[in-house]
């Protein structure tokens, strides 16, 4: 069987619009790409197109909970809600360092990604008035869109 490069395999697997969400499940809790070992189903040190087709079939079957060969909005939503709950539990466990089952505001804010509110305002406040106007916000949105066009959207 013809071997493909790992990028070609991933592109083939992720490229199928109906299976983008199921392939996201192969990713870890942080959204990282699936490990090679996840794709190498027979553990022979190579990933083949047949292995990716098997993975696709498995992911589709997981979505198609009633096994009728079609995925309804209800099936798709139920799977997404289940995954969201799993991610929320994993995030909560990561933030709850002392394991007491509660999170203070400080803990939640420390766990958030990105700059603080003051730093965001400083970054976007081009006229120095201490606030972000609609025009400054629109300019930031345009810059971000330009970067996405130039470099591509971030893959999560």
Predicted confidence (pLDDT) per residue in 91-105, tens digit: 899 888 888 999 988
Count CB-CB contacts under 10 A for residue 132.
Answer: 18
pLDDT, residue 19, reads 40
Q: What is the pLDDT of residues 56-81, one digit of tens each?
A: 999 999 999 999 999 999 999 999 99
Domain that holds residue 129: 114-151
The answer to whether position 156 is within a domain reads: no
Q: Tell me, yes or no, whether 46 and 102 share the same domain.
A: yes
Q: Tell me, yes or no, whether 38 and 96 share the same domain.
A: yes
Lowest mean pLDDT across 29-33, 122-126, 145-149? 29-33
CB 76 within 8 A of CB 63: yes
Q: What is the mean pLDDT of the chain?
A: 78
């Amino acid at each position: 069987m013809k071997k493909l490069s790992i990028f070609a395999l991933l592109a083939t697997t992720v490229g199928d619009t109906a299976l983008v969400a199921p392939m996201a499940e192969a990713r870890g809790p942080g959204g990282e790409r699936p490990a090679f070992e996840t794709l190498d189903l027979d553990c022979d040190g190579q990933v083949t197109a047949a292995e990716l087709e098997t993975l696709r079939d498995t992911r589709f079957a997981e979505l198609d909970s009633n096994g009728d060969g079609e995925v309804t909005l209800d099936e798709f939503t139920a799977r997404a809600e289940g995954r969201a709950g799993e991610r929320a539990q994993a995030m909560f466990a990561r933030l709850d360092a002392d394991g007491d089952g509660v999170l203070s505001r400080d803990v939640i804010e420390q766990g958030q990604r990105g700059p603080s509110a003051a730093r965001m305002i400083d970054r976007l406040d081009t006229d120095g008035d201490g606030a972000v106007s609609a025009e400054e916000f629109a300019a930031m949105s345009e810059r971000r869109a330009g970067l996405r066009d130039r470099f591509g959207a971030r893959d999560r």
